[in-house]
Amino acid sequence: MAATALAKLLPSRCTVALIESEAIGIIGVGEATLPHIRAFNERLGIVEAEFMAATRATFKLGIEFRDWGRVGDSYIHPFGTFGRGSGEVQFHHYYTRLLRAGVPLPPIEHYSMACSLARANRFGQPARDPQQIASTFGYAYQFDAVAFAPYLRRIAEGLGVRRTEGKVVAVERDAQSGDVTALVLADGRRVEGDLFVDCSGFAALLIGQELAEPFEDWSRWLPADRAVAMPCRTATAVTPYTSAIAMPSGWRWRIPLQHRTGNGYVFASDFLSEGAATDALLAAVEGTPLADPRVLRFKAGRRARSWVNNVVAVGLASGFLEPLESTSLYLVQQAITALIELFPEKRIAPVDRDEFNRLINMEYDRVRDFLILHYHATERDNSPFWTYVRTMPIPDSLAEKMALFRRRGRVVKYREGAFLDASWVSVYLGQRVVPTGADPRAAAPSTDSLVAGLERMRGEIAAAVGAMPAHAAFLADYCPMPAAA
Ligand X SMILES: Cc1cc2nc3c(=O)[nH]c(=O)nc-3n(C[C@H](O)[C@H](O)[C@H](O)COP(=O)(O)OP(=O)(O)OC[C@H]3O[C@@H](n4cnc5c(N)ncnc54)[C@H](O)[C@@H]3O)c2cc1C
Task: Restricting to residues 217-236, name those near ligand X by CB under 6 A.
Answer: 227, 229
Smallest distance, Å, CB 332 to ligand X?
A: 6
Which C-beta is closer to ligand X: that of 210 or that of 421? 210
| Range in contact with ligand X (rule: CB under 6 A) among 109-117, 314-322, 341-349, 451-459 | 314-322
Kindly write down the DSSP assignment for every residue of 321-354, as one continuous string.
--GGG--HHHHHHHHHHHHHHT--SSS--HHHHH
Q: Is 168 in the site for ligand X (CB under 6 A)?
A: yes
Is 25 a binding residue for ligand X by CB under 6 A? The answer is yes
33 binds ligand X (CB under 6 A): yes
List residues with catalytic annotation.
Answer: 60
Kindly state the smallest distance separating residue 236's Cβ from ligand X, in Å: 20
CA–CA dist 112, 210 (Å, integer)? 48
Question: According to the binding rule CB under 6 A, does residue 20 interact with ligand X?
Answer: yes
Among 205, 268, 280, 371, binds ligand X (CB under 6 A): 205
The residue within the footprint of ligand X, chosen from 76, 134, 199, 359 (CB under 6 A), is 199
Output the smallest distance, CB 293 to ligand X, in A: 12
Q: Does 329 bind ligand X (CB under 6 A)?
A: yes
Write the binding mask 128 to 157 for ligand X: x where contact by CB under 6 A, - elsewhere: -----------------x------------
Q: What is the DSSP string of 17-86?
A: EEEE-TTT-------B--THHHHHHHHTT--HHHHHHHTT-EEE-EEEEESSSSTT-EEEEESB-SS---
Q: Find the part of the chain contacting ligand X (CB under 6 A) among 17-25, 83-91, 102-110, 339-347.
A: 17-25
Amino acid present at 81: T
Buried b (16+ CB within 10 A) or exposed e, 332-360: bbbbbbbbbebbbeeebeeebbeebbebb
The answer to whether 41 and 141 have CB atoms below 8 angstroms apart is no
What region does 129 belong to: left with phi over 0, alpha with psi -120 to 50, or beta? beta
| 178 three-class SS | coil
CB neighbourhood size of 172 (10 A): 13
Residues 354-383 interacting with ligand X (rule: CB under 6 A): none
Phi-psi region of 280 (alpha: psi -120 to 50; beta: other; left: phi over 0): alpha
Among 30, 83, 231, 319, binds ligand X (CB under 6 A): 30
Distance from C-alpha of 379 to C-alpha of 370, rounded to nearest angstrom: 17
- Subset of 39-78 contacting ligand X (CB under 6 A): none
Q: Which residues sit at the interface with ligand X, rule CB under 6 A? A: 19-21, 24-27, 29-33, 145, 167-168, 199-201, 203, 205, 227, 229, 264, 296, 298, 315-317, 323, 326, 328-329, 332
